[in-house]
Structure 1
């Protein structure tokens, strides 16, 4: 199962691994609480927003057929895989937006690659609210979900022997 019809395109592979690195980097550079106001985590903002930017070509590539056809997969594993991928995509879009929103509520200016982005909402006094809490918790959840995603890829490779890891490698 390693022919090109079963492989991801090189573009999809690069975007996949770059996204994984960006998500990990964003998590490692995260700051919590009100100290963000005094010392905004610009690297965290840049890494998180880069994830959001990469989702556009990723979705275009996926919809244009740069991913292998998985319609032959059936059963609960196929359903779980679709749900897991859907949740990952939701988090890849939602995390950067909720972070940007939370920063806006704290009155923190968000920059991306030197460009000042507009605030998504007006600043508030006190805690930034539920969206900020969701952002913080979802940041950890995406790592857990990505870890499960990786474990399933290894399981597919070693137990099912279906060539999953070869489809996502550049060689």
Structure 2
């Protein structure tokens, strides 16, 4: 079975590490205005930045074709699952940036100031901020499901799927 390129493998695992690190450094509630989680902001925006070369590499044929298909329904489910993960990997950093802007918190990407996406408000930042918090938990569930499916392919189906994304 063909493997992903070393570049795609590095992007995949860097994204996974950044998502976990962003989740562990997240803080919610009223305290964000007084003590913004700057590391969380930078890690989340790093995910967004990594999505640019990741999407370009994928569009350029960076995902190898699956030789041993499991049937049209499972192939469709895999494509939908990856698309949902990509939506979360792009949507979460953007909604977080928006929510921080609404809170009036200055946004920076590892010390580089970024413009606000919205005007600050005095009250709660709104629905997108709530979606961001919920989405942060959902992406961990999706990533966990993604991992379980990869393990199922590797150890139950024994089709070598997991080896396609390992660095060695």
Residue 124 (1) aligns with residue 146 (2): no
- Which of these residues, 147, 150, 155, is aligned with residue 153 of structure 1? 150
1:9-158 alignment, distance < 5 Å: 9-70=5-66, 73=69, 74-158=71-155
Q: Alpha-carbon deviations, 1:21-75, whole Å to 9, x = none?
A: 0000000000001211111101100100000000000011111122111487332
Q: 1: CA distance between counterparts of 2:74 and 2:34?
A: 46
Q: 2: CA distance between counterparts of 1:71 and 1:163?
A: 11
Q: 2: CA distance between counterparts of 1:19 and 1:169?
A: 14
Which structure 2 residue ranges, 5 or more long, are not aligned?
none
TM-score, reference length from structure 2: 0.96
Question: How far is 1:80 from its partner?
Answer: 1.3
Q: 1: CA distance between counterparts of 2:90 and 2:79?
A: 17
TM-score, reference length from structure 1: 0.94
Q: 2: CA distance between counterparts of 1:68 and 1:160?
A: 19
Q: Alpha-carbon deviations, 1:70-93, whole Å to 9, x = none?
A: 487332211211111000000000
Q: Provide the secondary structure at the position in 2 that maps to 1:111.
A: strand
Residue-pair matches, total: 167
Q: Is the 8 A contact 2:15 2:47 kept in 1?
A: yes
- CA separation of 1:71/1:166 partners in 2, compared to 1, >3 Å: closer, same or farther? closer
Q: 2: CA distance between counterparts of 1:49 and 1:70?
A: 31
RMSD: 1.2
Further displaced range: 26-35 or 68-77: 68-77
